[in-house]
Amino acid sequence: MIEFLSKKLDWIDVEYWFYILNDLSLVYIIVPFFILELVRYAYLKKLNKNLILDSVANLITFGAFFLIEIILGLLAITKAYFWIYNNISLPHLELNWITIITCILLADFAYYWEHRMMHRIGIGWATHTVHHSSPHFNMSVAYRFGPLDAIMPILFSLPIVMLGYDPILVLLSEVFVQVFQTLLHTEIIGKLIKPVEYIFNTPSHHRVHHGSNRQYWDKNYAGILIIWDRMFSTFEPEVEKVRYGISEPLNSNNPIKVFFHGISRLIRKLKKVNGFKNKLLVFIKPPDWMPTNK
């Protein structure tokens, strides 16, 4: 077993597997599942104009996010990653199953902390609120991104490169975590068997994460493994029926409004707050923070 796990692998094979799991998942699972969700909405007589426009807005925000991601990726990320990998990293790891599995685990762990930060600091929530602002919960919501959503993960994946992991493997692992996360955005699947619900993030756990019910706020940040939430006391099971959305609803399907509402709310808050230090703290303190002397 150990011999198998530590056997050297060819990059061409690894990229091929990730191509099937990451890139092609859109074709063989995400789109068919979304169609199934639309059929279900129609059957339940919930397929209305608001839901369609919401889904369209989700896809448009994804387009904008993707454009930013490509520009960042081409201009900076890959170069920064490779510079760090070649200059300030631990000895480079061989490409084998153990390296791949541990890289995915680390990418998942990094995702947990990055996601937690997006919820718990002002600038993080200003961009991530876009993802949570939909009052619906389906696969298209997984593609609802904010303008800075591509930047935050860099801070958390660079340390993985410093630990000796190939930058391309790190990027592929991050996408893999993201694809797994996408599949959790559904109301079709109820609770799964207990061992699965205990170890893995599931649609049930992720519904809780999208809940605006008070007890569901800032819970279940996990990507693939829910054990991170259990370890760091942010786990909450799905008990009460989930009400999706944010505490201060957006009430708009205008893609531009959807994409920038978090940033514009942050700017409004900055205008209200007095003093340079307090303005700076707005960026790094929790989203509901206000200076006491105001």
- Residues near other proteins (CB under 8 A): 2, 5-6, 8, 10, 12, 16, 90-91, 93-94, 96, 98-99, 102-103, 105-106, 109, 113, 163-165, 231-233
- For the CB of residue 109, give the shortest distance to other proteins in the complex, in Å: 6
Our CB check for other proteins shows the closer of 107 and 152 to be: 107
Other C-beta atoms lying within 10 Å of the C-beta of residue 206: 24
Angle between the N-to-C axes of helices 152-162 and 97-120, in degrees from 0 to 180, rounded to the nearest 10: 150
- For the CB of residue 180, give the shortest distance to other proteins in the complex, in Å: 18
Our CB check for other proteins shows the closer of 29 and 98 to be: 98
What Å distances lie between residue 213 and 24, 109, 238, CA to CA? 35, 26, 11
- For the CB of residue 121, give the shortest distance to other proteins in the complex, in Å: 14
Structure tokens at 281: 């703290």
Our CB check for other proteins shows the closer of 17 and 283 to be: 17
Our CB check for other proteins shows the closer of 30 and 152 to be: 152
- For the CB of residue 5, give the shortest distance to other proteins in the complex, in Å: 7
- For the CB of residue 163, give the shortest distance to other proteins in the complex, in Å: 5
Cβ-proximal residues to 44 (8 Å cutoff; 6+ apart), any chain: none
Our CB check for other proteins shows the closer of 7 and 79 to be: 7
Our CB check for other proteins shows the closer of 99 and 182 to be: 99
* Angle (CA) 6 226 216, round 5°: 160
Note the Cα 82 to chain centre separation in Å.
Answer: 24
Quick one: which of 188, 164, 16 has its CA closest to 91?
164
- For the CB of residue 196, give the shortest distance to other proteins in the complex, in Å: 21
The strand ranges marked E within the chain are: none
HSE on the CB side for 28, CA within 13 Å?
Answer: 7
Other C-beta atoms lying within 10 Å of the C-beta of residue 1: 6
